[in-house]
Amino acid sequence: MYPITRSTSDASGGAKTSSIVALDTFATQFQTSIGCAVTGTANYTVQYTLDNVLAPGYTPSSGTWYDITALASKAATLSAYVDYPVTAVKLVQNSGAGSVVMTVLQTGAGD
């Protein structure tokens, strides 16, 4: 998988959420690196889901999302990894007039 980026900006009037990044759950060695780069002032959280995001009619806003602890309520440029299968990740900018760019890179061979 090539690196995929999602971004948010100016959540001073309320939280902003990026579109999701669907991941390959069939990878034999599931590993996903996630980096978040902050410009200006921003507080963000990266979340994952186990929902079938490819199901017809799936709506991310009604899904079940869990915080990635290492990237929850953060204000600095940070990275973390997920080494257990998840179906998708998304970026939520909780507050701040700055911006956040999330880059996702998944490795692992498919079956």
Better-scored residue on pLDDT, 88 or 110: 88
The model's pTM is 0.94
pLDDT attached to residue 28: 82
Q: 4-107 adopts what CATH topology?
A: Jelly Rolls (2.60.120)
Supply the DSSP string of the chain, one letter for each residue: ---EEEEEE--TTS-EEPPPEE--TTBTT-EEEEEEEEESS-EEEEEEE-S-TTSTT--GGGS-EEE-GGGSSB-S-EEEEE-S--SEEEEEEEE-SSEEEEEEEEE--B-
User: What are the pLDDT digits (tens) for 14-57?
Assistant: 999 999 999 998 888 899 999 999 999 999 999 999 999 999 99
What's the pLDDT tens digit per position in 93-108? 999 999 999 999 998 7
Domain ranges of the chain: 4-107
